[in-house]
Amino acid sequence: MRAPASNASNASAGALGKCTMATFIVLLGPPGAGKGTQAKRISGILGLPHVSTGDLFRENLADHTALGVEAGEYINKGQLVPDSLTIAMVEERLTRSDCAPGALLDGFPRTLAQAEAFDEMLEKSFNSKVFCVPCIEVDPDLLVERLSDRLVCRNGHVFHLRFSPPKKAGVCDLCGEPLYQREDDKAETVTKRIEVYNVQTAPLIQYYEDRRLLRKINGDQDIEAVTQDILSVLNEANAVNLTGTKIAQKGNGIE
Ligand code: AMP
């Protein structure tokens, strides 16, 4: 897939150096599939901003903005924040200059209405489109365990009690902040989030399959293998040019 001509500015970093069009990649997968971990790694490698709607909502929640207060009502129950609020927030985020080369979307779109609005937004504001949709698949029976054993610090670094435990219990390896469980990672909310994914987000698999953008990724592998598989499908889809890109190995893969 080749990028059509565009008025978007040239990408300036990483593997996007030769692209002439803003590159938008959507990372799809159920809660607990490892989208956040992979998005951080891939965005670092490609030099593309990582736009996570969950992180944006949590920042708003922490800052007690009107958006944060409203979104919190839904997040803490494991429900989706209404499309209108979510779409407006993403639209605003994409107007910032760091998104001129494109972005790696994590947690957006999550409904068909969001996917359609996103396509329109990219066309209108960037003369661009979604280039590739890696979809991380994991054994559904493992999702609850993956989420309910997850710990985070207030800077968004993620650990897992079994797969990537912190060196010192309860303390972030990277910034020394205390680790805690996200409110919406508690068992009862996790079950609701998975149900919401199956009903509202899973139809996006077909949406992107119809557009030949979907690439299935086996998420039941170690973190580095999943990263390599995502990079490889992005490369094959010509979403990025990884020739000569040095892929750094980072610690235990968590950030
Ligand atoms: P995440 O960190 O991606 O798991 O998102 C945490 C929560 O934020 C979700 O369970 C939703 O309540 C909300 N959220 C994140 N992204 C979206 C979205 N695209 N649409 C609606 N709600 C969202």
Tell whether the model's pLDDT for residue 188 goes beyond 50.
Answer: yes
Strands 150-152 and 130-137: unpaired
CA of 100 to the centre of ligand 1 (A): 24
pLDDT in tens, 93-103: 999 999 999 99
What per-residue confidence (pLDDT) applies to 156?
A: 85
Average pLDDT, the chain: 87
Cβ atoms within 10 Å of 27's Cβ, excluding its own: 26
List Cα–Cα distances, 162 to 38, 62, 82, 105, in angstroms. Answer: 18, 28, 34, 27
Q: Indicate if ligand 1 lies below 6 Å from the C-beta of 197.
A: no
Structure tokens at 182: 């996200």
What per-residue confidence (pLDDT) applies to 197?
A: 96
What per-residue confidence (pLDDT) applies to 19?
A: 52
What distance in Å separates the CA atoms of residue 226 and residue 81, rounded to the nearest whole number? 29
What distance in Å separates the CA atoms of residue 116 and residue 93, rounded to the nearest whole number? 17
Active site residue 150: yes
CA of 54 to the centre of ligand 1 (A): 5
State the average pLDDT over residues 191-204. 95
Question: Residue 209 class from Cβ within 10 Å (0-12 exposed, 13-18 middle, 19+ buried)?
Answer: middle
What distance in Å separates the CA atoms of residue 26 and residue 230, rounded to the nearest whole number? 11
Question: Residue 78 class from Cβ within 10 Å (0-12 exposed, 13-18 middle, 19+ buried)?
Answer: buried
What per-residue confidence (pLDDT) applies to 20?
A: 67
pLDDT in tens, 133-174: 999 999 988 888 888 899 999 888 999 998 889 999 999 999
Domain boundaries, the chain: 20-138+191-236
Tell whether the model's pLDDT for residue 5 goes beyond 50.
Answer: no
State the average pLDDT over residues 185-210. 94
Classify 72 as helix, strand or coil.
helix
- Find all residues with CB under 8 Å of 157, minimum gap 6, and list them: 172, 173, 174, 175, 177, 254, 255
| pTM for this prediction | 0.85
Task: Specify the ligand 1 atom closest to the Cα of 114.
Answer: 19
CA of 5 to the centre of ligand 1 (A): 33
Angle at the Cα of 25 (from 22 to 28), degrees rounded to 5? 165
- State which fold the 20-138+191-236 domain adopts: Rossmann fold (3.40.50)
